Amino acid sequence: MLESILAEIDAEIERLQKAKRLLSVVGAVAGKRGPGRPAKTEAPTPAKTPKRRTMSAEARARIRQAQIKRWAETKKAAKQNLNATVALLPEAKKKAAKSA
């Protein structure tokens, strides 16, 4: 009985060693490169983001003044349109519009 257990253990060890030899041969073959395009050796360089330009304080001030001028023109045009609309209204509506 003891001899049969030892024989089974020896047989299992032999099967494992055979499997190890086969895997080591297959692993060596798998490490070889096959046909096709070779891998890049260098890591790709990340794309550089363009440098953002800064605006001078004088330029910002000019843009601000131009925008304020545009706002004033639109406000003036809106006020003129309102005055023209009020001028076309009948007298009763004009008094109500002036009081509002």
pTM over 0.75: no
- Token pair 């009763």 is at which residue? 92
pLDDT value, residue 47: 79
Distance CA 13, CA 7 (A): 10
> Mind listing the pLDDT tens digit for each residue in 52-73?
889 999 999 999 999 999 999 9
- Residue 49 confidence (pLDDT) above 90: no
Instruction: Select, from the ranges 25-34, 37-46, 50-59, 87-96, the one with the highest average predicted confidence (pLDDT).
Output: 50-59
User: CA torsion sign, 57 to 58 to 61 to 67?
Assistant: negative
Domain map of the chain by residue range? 57-100
For residue 10, which amino acid is it? D
In 3D space, the residue among 30, 10, 28, 6 whose CA is nearest the CA of residue 18 turns out to be 10
Give Cα 53 to chain centroid, integer Å: 21
